[in-house]
A and B are shown apart, each in its own frame.
Chain A
Amino acid sequence: MALTYDPIATTTLGSANSTITFSSIPGTFTDLRLVIVANQTGSNDLPVIRFNGDTGNNYSHTHIGGNGSAGFSGRSSNASGIRFMSNTPFLTGSRPNLTIVDIFSYSATSVFKSVLANANNNDGGSGSIWRSVGLWRNTAAITSVTLNVGIETMTAGSTATLYGILRA
């Protein structure tokens, strides 16, 4: 019996690293879910998600969020990755960021790829909360997903799990 919600792979960093990549993703599911629980070692760069190693300016996003004082919204166009927290890095302390990214119709070859990201960056009562929609302007099936924090690194113990979700 095919599983509806199937763990494809989990990465837990044994040492600090700037990227977590899931490659050779099977094309047999309908959607993907990426669950990230992570910290950064420094705050001088931002987390992004990229597909199939594409580092070109082929991504965009729109977000709504709150910083504990006010709500806000914004967007970016022609970006080099999907910035699911816009201008905010992962937390650098003991409390991790929790981000859940849903990637829809990832293996379809007739659509640009859309994601919904739910990012929670609460450092003990201060921080931010985000909901973002992202777009990768490419009709290729997604075979790899990369989480990257640029010039910073994700701390040892940061985890990311990729699930495949199969429709009826």
Chain B
Amino acid sequence: MPITYIPIASQTLTSSAGSVSFSSIPQTYTDLHLLFTARDASATSKIAFLGVRMNSVTTFYTRVILNSWPGTGVFSSASSTQDAWNTIAYNASDTVANSFGVGELYIPDYTRARAKVASGSSTTEDNTTADGRFYLGAYTQDATAAITSLTVLAQSSFAAGSSFHLYGIKNT
């Protein structure tokens, strides 16, 4: 009986890196699921944002964002001119030591010849008032080519200990 939820690749950094790449993604699944725990190596007012690029495409990523900032409010924003699926939050180096942001990106039908969509959730948290943030994103990219690679881009650089896991999901 085939397994449905399959680990494709994992990367856990032993030193800082500006990006993490998953290449030669098998085309035998239906959906992709990227999970991460990350911390930036730079201090950027408690929060950093990563971006995810498909293949070598650097233009016309779009987003609709819903985010929360405790004590301040809930906000929404949108853009149609990004260079990656971004505004995906994680902890910056000025959060409490050893705290990492966590998040995920779900990409359905990644081999299908149509516009790509994705759903993202990400957070920062370090047990400090007003440092916890929640970001939800609805993403599109009109490139119709199958996704064969994903590149995760740090705001500055991912700190050692940051980990990224890519899973394939089969619908049969």
Contacts and interface: CB of A to CB of B under 8 A. Distances in A.
Given A10-B171, A66-B64, A128-B64, A122 B140 contact: yes
Interface string B97-139: 0000000001011000011011101000000000000001111
Interface stretch (B14-22, B37-45, B78-86): B78-86
Question: Chain B contact residues (Cβ within 8 angstroms of A): what range?
Answer: 35 or more
Nearest to A7: B171
Interface in B1-38: 1, 3-5, 30-31
B95 interface: no
B119 A37 contact: no
Interface stretch (B69-77, B146-154, B157-165): B69-77
Interface stretch (A90-98, A104-112, A134-142): A90-98
Contact of B4 (A1, A5, A64, A123): A5
B4 A3 contact: yes
Given A66-B64, A98-B108, A124-B80, A7 B170 contact: yes
Interface string A1-17: 10111110010000000
Contact of B119 (A4, A6, A100, A128): A100
Interface of B: 1, 3-5, 30-31, 62-68, 73-81, 106, 108-109, 114-115, 117-119, 121, 136-140, 142, 169-172
Interface of A: 1, 3-7, 10, 35, 37, 64-71, 94-98, 100, 118, 120-129, 131, 157, 159, 161, 163
30 contacts: A5-B5, A7-B4, A7-B171, A37-B108, A66-B74, A68-B65, A71-B68, A71-B76, A94-B142, A95-B115, A95-B117, A98-B118, A100-B119, A120-B118, A120-B139, A122-B63, A122-B78, A122-B139, A122-B140, A123-B140, A124-B140, A125-B62, A125-B81, A127-B138, A128-B138, A129-B76, A129-B136, A129-B137, A161-B171, A163-B171
